[in-house]
Amino acid sequence: MSRAATAICKQPAGVIAPVVNLKHCEGKGDCAEVCPENVFEIRRIDDADYQQLGAFNRFKIRVHGMRVAYTPNADACRSCGLCVTACPEHAITLARVK
């Protein structure tokens, strides 16, 4: 992690995690590009997640290549918030881990 990223991180890893709203995510990858902790992965939406979406959101996902952001390394998040501000769809929030 860069020195600048260390300066803006607000929490130790594992306290806060990003939550991606798949109804809004278009899989553009801005979150993955700015995340200093490599929390995000842009990939094809899982079938189970796709089936839970309504017809409009399924159509939108298809238009955007069936790709969304997932957070396989969410436990590494240090709450810098760069992903939240980088997401053009406002699909990411930060939430306290339970």
CA 43 to chain centre: 11
Check residue 3 and give its pLDDT: 44
pLDDT digits (tens, 9 = 90+) for 67-90: 999 999 999 999 999 999 999 999
pLDDT digits (tens, 9 = 90+) for 14-69: 899 999 999 999 999 999 999 999 999 999 999 999 999 999 999 999 999 999 99
- Contact criterion met (CB below 8 Å) for 29 and 87: no
With cut-offs at 50, 70 and 90, classify the pLDDT of residue 1.
very low
- Strand, helix or coil at 31? helix
Check residue 87 and give its pLDDT: 97
Q: What are the chain's domains?
A: 3-96 (3.30.70.20)
pTM: 0.87
Closest to 32 in 3D by CA, of 77, 63, 95: 77
With cut-offs at 50, 70 and 90, classify the pLDDT of residue 2.
very low
